[in-house]
Amino acid sequence: MSLSLDADQLDRYSRHVIMDEVGPEGQKRLLDGRALVVGAGGLGAPVIQYLAAAGVGTIGVVDDDVVERSNLQRQVIHADADVGVPKVESAARYVERLNPDVDVNAHETRLDEGNARELLGEYDIVVDCADNFRTRYVVNDVARIEGMPVVHGAIYKFEGQATTLVPEGPCYRCLFPEAPEPGTVPDCATTGVLGVLPGTVGCIQATEAIKLLLDAGDILEGRVLFYDAMDMTFETVPYRRNPDCPVCGADGIETIAGIDYSGGCRVDGD
């Protein structure tokens, strides 16, 4: 791997280059890195923003939605002029203005069991910014089969959580074996969400993704970070790999074929 950075890059990333924990070698790793961001909404916006600013060289963005005016209170990479535009296009335009070193692959589709393996196969890491359980379980299951790390985040009203799932550690199903039944957990369109909340959680996800690409620091493996914006508190709760987990346990799955991701997203036999 060449460690050469041109004059503009040495200037742009100078605050990284002077750090012993990053340096020119680490910055080159970021520039060579490939991250897939699932969702370009509240969580995806700050993740895309900070991965691009840090110089992650290829960012894939998966989303099938368009920008709505009600998004703008929290989805900070989109602007009023983007209303009606596909979020992946708006995200790509934002990154293009922010950092010419970064290539954006705009995947205007919903990640599902039919395309997940192909999409994930193009990248080094996945940042799960999805707003629904079906996508989260598909991402977890396919990433575990493919041996890819996932940085997960979720938000609700004033609260958020984040954890990092790596091949040698527990997976999302070790934490949440199955999804709640559809309709039992309201979304932000029903309950609302504090506009700055996804910024905090998304920045934590971006931090974890950058550490993974740098292979530096301690990540949230086997730990869930809970954030309460009303109380301004952070709490970290450990969790362990479930030896009977249908995905990452001793008899874990080798394919997602046959899994019904409707309802509770259960794996047959669990």
Identify any residues that bridge with 34 across adjacent strands, giving them in sequence order: 58
Flag residues of the chain having pLDDT under 70.
Answer: 1-3, 269-270
70 touches 117 (CB < 8 A): no
Please write down the long-range contacts of 223-228, taking CB distance under 8 Å and 24 or more positions apart. Answer: 223/163, 224/161, 224/162, 224/163, 224/175, 225/161, 225/162, 225/163, 226/159, 226/160, 226/161, 227/159, 227/160, 227/161, 227/162, 227/197, 227/200, 227/201, 228/158, 228/159
Catalytic residues: 188
Tens of pLDDT, residue by residue over 141-200, are 999 999 999 999 999 999 999 999 999 999 999 999 998 877 777 777 788 999 999 999
Compute the chain's Rg from CA coordinates: 18
Give the model's pLDDT for residue 46.
Answer: 98
Residue 241: its pLDDT value, please?
95
* CA 247 to centroid of chain Cα atoms: 20
Q: Which two tokens stand for residue 155?
A: 């938000």
pLDDT value, residue 2: 42
